[in-house]
Structure 1
């Protein structure tokens, strides 16, 4: 039985029968994914996150992936400067939810692997097997300056992440072990309790470089990435599946992220997009982030650079789902056909906008056969995804 079969047999929602799985991205940070000064009732606090999670569980979403931030990016909004830490966030959310799968996002240079493995196992017990791990090497220099004085060089960052993950996996599966590597030395490594879920917590990462993709293929269950077109989505998914199997004899799925502006008419959707992105967008923050990612290039047209910044303002560079319910659903159906397992969605205002999306778009995805209707018994059944 394959690892994925074990996840499915255990009832893990990340491996259910829905062809296109859904989650949300960044409800624990100010502005969530939108680099804008537009008015919104969204607050990255516990009360708001509980409301969002309850709506998601009622609608049958699969997961929530928080953003790990230690300081803002600047700009007028100081984008993502206010942030609930993700391990404690996940523990709190685990206690007040029943079915949604939760992730901790961990910058590995900021957390010793023994501490991370123990905390994840604790949250796994609280959640009855609903916690996963999103690993990040730590790419924002000003954040890494706060912890160890400087950001590691790219390839060395993945060497560190590899050894970090090896230690976590040993803590979860072995009784006593010694480890002596380039970054960690451990004597009689031991942990109880082990994770409750089978075969272990779900692992994800968003590496897009050669080293990042290799790390994802070697260790994780989902490679997260941004898409540039439907053709790119299909090529990326095929490449990652092939890489994981040929190099490590492992199955691997892909997941992307999208931002949603859904209104009764296309005119209304476009007008709201123009309002929060073009009129009220925090272009200073977008420039800071895009320059950090090296998007500025003399080989790119002015139109490309403007669109790239608009996508970051709209939703952290995600794929834009802008239009009527029918138009948004059509784009999601096309996305599903590329082979990706799912998408995280973001809204400028989750509490105000998600109900309309759930009521008008999700039924169209069910009619298309890429998602199943939520069963009545699922609305009240306490989920247990442990092995």
Structure 2
């Protein structure tokens, strides 16, 4: 199994803790990126949000694509999975930007295509935000255009949402960037099975994640497509010398204050309203986002490693870690957990 991490564009990951010692600056992201590169982490996910989803909409946050290019320039090995919302980007322009970023990174680029859920953000920044299933229909065409431009010159396309006429994109990416996507609704999963190369999930139990992997494999087989090249899951990790210490840290970060539905929780109701989730999310779970606490990666290094190996046995190919503060916790995880899971680094090949 590969081990990746979320780039902290928000100044941290915790909604209940104000200052995590993780400022929303490139200086801190550079420190994290070079630490992860040195320690042998395989991949980073750079989220794309124009408003701060973790600390409140008025708090600072960084833009994904400029940040991804900067990360590519200061690292050598880590794969860069940058998120992109079709409603905010013309597909032909994005295909060109991605090809340039692929060149900067020497073929280390991947895309996480997100059909979006935050109506307030789209209103503020002029993004396209349709009804749920329409967002996935737009995404399918958007991916067709992007991958078509990476593949053919000249490229033309005539769809319901996008039209391209004899477009030229050179140079092509060195390695065709894999397309990752995640979703839980019936329409979302059906759509993702058609256009994505890899499937990414919110955190879940071993049984839940194994079931999703099997379900998406069946969906791919039913439409005559090869299995996904990889599956991934988000997870928040707390490793301490004793289980008691780890549980105390979990209690600290998940204790929602009396004013807990305040600025850092402003997006909670909108996320639930505009997402067709398989399982409800409590305010306590939402304190770290992406259902990262549900995998239960909390305890000693031995306990966390045992859980990670169970996910690997269930077929998971990539775990995307969050932890706080990220730079020192990546050091701790690499030092204490990596030797127990026998991890290896590789870039998945696309046929």
TM-score by structure 1 length?
Answer: 0.81
**Which of residues 29, 44, 49 is equivalent to 2:10?**
29
**Which of residues 322, 330, 334 is equivalent to 2:306?**
330
Give the structure 2 partner of residue 245 of structure 1: 221
Identify which range, 337-346 or 283-292, moves more after superposition. 283-292
2: CA distance, partners of 1:149 / 1:46: 25
Identify which range, 209-218 or 160-169, moves more after superposition. 209-218
Residue by residue over 1:93-134, the C-alpha shift from the partner in whole angstroms, topping out at 9 and shown as x without a partner, is 111111100022111111100110000000111111001111
Instruction: Confirm or deny: 8 A CA contact 1:103 1:133 kept in the other structure.
Output: yes
**Which of residues 248, 251, 276 is equivalent to 2:253?**
276
Aligned 1:1-387 pairs, distance under 5 A: 20-31=1-12, 33-73=13-53, 77-78=55-56, 81-148=59-126, 151-197=129-175, 200-252=176-228, 253-278=230-255, 283-284=260-261, 288-294=266-272, 308-318=282-292, 319-366=295-342, 371-372=343-344
2: CA distance, partners of 1:150 / 1:186: 19
For the residue of structure 1 that corresponds to 2:297, the secondary structure is strand
2: CA distance, partners of 1:325 / 1:281: 33
Instruction: Confirm or deny: 8 A CA contact 1:68 1:83 kept in the other structure.
Output: no
Measured after TM superposition, the shift of residue 189 of structure 1 is 1.4
1: CA distance, partners of 2:69 / 2:291: 28
2: CA distance, partners of 1:183 / 1:279: 42
Measured after TM superposition, the shift of residue 192 of structure 1 is 0.7
Measured after TM superposition, the shift of residue 83 of structure 1 is 2.2
Measured after TM superposition, the shift of residue 138 of structure 1 is 2.1
2: CA distance, partners of 1:362 / 1:333: 11
Instruction: Confirm or deny: 8 A CA contact 1:57 1:100 kept in the other structure.
Output: yes
Measured after TM superposition, the shift of residue 334 of structure 1 is 1.4
Over 3 Å counting, the alpha-carbon distance change for 1:355 and 1:193 in structure 2 is: same
Instruction: Confirm or deny: 8 A CA contact 1:35 1:281 kept in the other structure.
Output: no
Give the structure 2 partner of residue 6 of structure 1: none
Residue by residue over 1:211-239, the C-alpha shift from the partner in whole angstroms, topping out at 9 and shown as x without a partner, is 22123222222211124321111110111
- Equivalent pairs, count: 343
Residue by residue over 1:132-170, the C-alpha shift from the partner in whole angstroms, topping out at 9 and shown as x without a partner, is 111111210001112447620011111111111111111
Instruction: Confirm or deny: 8 A CA contact 1:234 1:340 kept in the other structure.
Output: yes
For the residue of structure 1 that corresponds to 2:287, the secondary structure is helix
Instruction: Confirm or deny: 8 A CA contact 1:258 1:315 kept in the other structure.
Output: no
| RMSD over aligned Cα atoms | 2.8
Identify which range, 315-324 or 277-286, moves more after superposition. 277-286
Over 3 Å counting, the alpha-carbon distance change for 1:69 and 1:227 in structure 2 is: closer
2: CA distance, partners of 1:333 / 1:52: 25
For the residue of structure 2 that corresponds to 1:61, the secondary structure is coil
For the residue of structure 2 that corresponds to 1:117, the secondary structure is helix
1: CA distance, partners of 2:221 / 2:203: 22
Measured after TM superposition, the shift of residue 281 of structure 1 is 9.4
For the residue of structure 2 that corresponds to 1:320, the secondary structure is coil
Instruction: Confirm or deny: 8 A CA contact 1:135 1:205 kept in the other structure.
Output: yes
Instruction: Confirm or deny: 8 A CA contact 2:305 2:340 kept in the other structure.
Output: yes
Structure 2 residue runs without a partner (length 5+): none
Over 3 Å counting, the alpha-carbon distance change for 1:212 and 1:233 in structure 2 is: same
More helix by share: 1
For the residue of structure 2 that corresponds to 1:158, the secondary structure is helix
TM-score by structure 2 length?
Answer: 0.89
1: CA distance, partners of 2:328 / 2:149: 42
Structure 1 residue runs without a partner (length 5+): 1-19
Measured after TM superposition, the shift of residue 80 of structure 1 is 8.8
